[in-house]
Amino acid sequence: MWRSVSLSARLNLIFASLFALWLLVDAAHVVLQAGARTRAETQSAMRLTKDFVATALMRLPAPPEPGAVEALVAGLQNLRHVRAGLGEPVLASSIMREANNESDAPRWFRALVDAPGEVTAIPVRLSDGRTESIVIVADPADEIDEVWAGARDHALVGAIMALAALGVTSLLIGRAVRPLQVASAALARLEAGDYAARAEGGGPPEIRNLNAKIDSLAEALGDLKRANNELAGRVFDAQDEERQAIAHELHDEFGPHLFALRAGAALLAKQLSDSPAAGAAARAIEAEVEALQGQNRRILADLRPAALEELGLAEALEALVAHWRRAEPGVAVTLDADPRVEAMSERASLTAYRFVQEAMTNAFRHAGATRIEVSLRFETPASEPSFGDAGLGGFVIRVADNGRGLQGETEAGMGLAGMRDRVRLLGGQVSIGSPPAGGVVVEARFGAAERENLPANPGSIPPKPSNH
């Protein structure tokens, strides 16, 4: 729990603990002084009262009259710290109880002061032959009440001063650690991939030095990211060039040979019409060559989407969707492409096409879906200028299906992993998730629309029918 407490809160707790300790020590000092002070006061009051009673008795006729003694005792009731009575010494206990009941100080404080009262009994022989005792009780209650009132006021003033000092130290601590918050915010932006973040701010030399090191780290990370993006771009460009070269070889070299083989097999089958077995073998060769031509066309489409170069991204995606509709007539495929996609760069168009191609392939192979939705849109208005690579500000590619969902699968395959790298190269991010309605949603977001997670309701694809 202590590890989760912030630095400013820790410093405030330390100062609050010091102030609380100071108040406790001060209170203990007051109590210790109060005990000695109260005992000295009660002893002095008892000594003075005894001397006064002795002097007063000496001035009375011997033996004194009972009324004179009662008047003497009545005059003692107004003395401070002393209570008196006429009777047996046991009267002292009732006098002490009465004094404690009238005290304003709480019982625990009187116990801490530890100043017991003193009792003295002075016997007096009266004129009527009786002997009475003047019981004098040194009562510390008044002194304890004074000490309690002073200690309470002292504690209140000390608490107010401690709170004021704590408020001032809290304000100073907050100002002192504010540069650390700037550094923390800069590090958080760096963690999120914003290498343009800088830890600007004042503070003591140690914090300024820390901020300078954070800025140097951000600059180094930015340079490294740019170098990595440049390297990744070269790698992808090399891959695309290699694919294009292989496609040219297959189309210009391998394709004509396959065509010649198929034509020769067809001609041979006609010439061997008198030999059924030889004719059947020639027709089988023709069928195999035709299958090879189909495989060659499929490989060419994967290596170099000709429609993308000739017709543009929207038409190329329409051709891709039409291909899947023919191959999987039981699956409904829809495509919604913003007309602005035609203005994207060649690299951005190729990335978008490859992303949709890979996502649809995975959906057809693994999802068991009955419906797939493909959309390419800009979340910025048409009148608002885009930004980023080739105008990708707010661009979103989304492929959603109503299949069986991820089913615990968290890692993307090699194809989507490569697409994630391509998307990241253009400043975007890829997210894969399962909405509450089921299925899988694969999104690539660029520029202003870039974010980590899918929306709470990524789509309105109906759930997979239970009887499918």
What are the sequence ranges of the domains in the chain? 2-168, 312-468
Answer whether residue 164 shows pLDDT above 70: yes
Answer whether residue 462 shows pLDDT above 50: no
Question: According to the model, what pLDDT value does residue 335 have?
Answer: 92
Which is more confident, 393 or 148?
A: 148
Q: For the stretch 67-81, what's the b/e string if a residue is b when 16 or more beta carbons lie within 10 angstroms of its beta carbon?
A: ebbeebbeebeeeeb
pTM: 0.49
Question: According to the model, what pLDDT value does residue 399 have?
Answer: 92
Residue 309 corresponds to which tokens in the numbers above? Answer: 């170069």
Question: According to the model, what pLDDT value does residue 451 have?
Answer: 39
Answer whether residue 355 shows pLDDT above 60: yes
pLDDT grade for 389, boundaries at 50, 70 and 90: very low
pLDDT grade for 398, boundaries at 50, 70 and 90: very high
Question: According to the model, what pLDDT value does residue 452 have?
Answer: 37
Answer whether residue 69 shows pLDDT above 70: yes
Question: According to the model, what pLDDT value does residue 457 have?
Answer: 37
Q: Which residues contact 74 (CB under 8 A, 6 or more apart)?
A: none
Share of the chain above pLDDT 90, in %: 3
pLDDT tens digits for range 429-438? 888 888 887 8
Other residues' Cβ atoms within 10 Å of the Cβ of residue 317: 25
pLDDT grade for 167, boundaries at 50, 70 and 90: confident
Question: According to the model, what pLDDT value does residue 323 have?
Answer: 85
**If we measure between CA atoms, which residue out of 306, 313, 297, 301 comes closest to residue 258?**
297
Q: How many CA atoms lie within 13 A of 439 on its CB side?
A: 27
**If we measure between CA atoms, which residue out of 390, 381, 300, 322 comes closest to residue 352?**
390
pLDDT grade for 327, boundaries at 50, 70 and 90: confident
Over residues 153-181, mean pLDDT: 80
Answer whether residue 453 shows pLDDT above 50: no
| CATH number, domain 312-468 | 3.30.565.10
Over residues 235-263, mean pLDDT: 72
Answer whether residue 374 shows pLDDT above 90: yes
Over residues 306-311, mean pLDDT: 71
Can you tell me the distance from the alpha carbon of 3 to that of 21, in angstroms, rounded to the nearest whole number? Answer: 24
pLDDT tens digits for range 45-62? 778 888 888 888 888 887
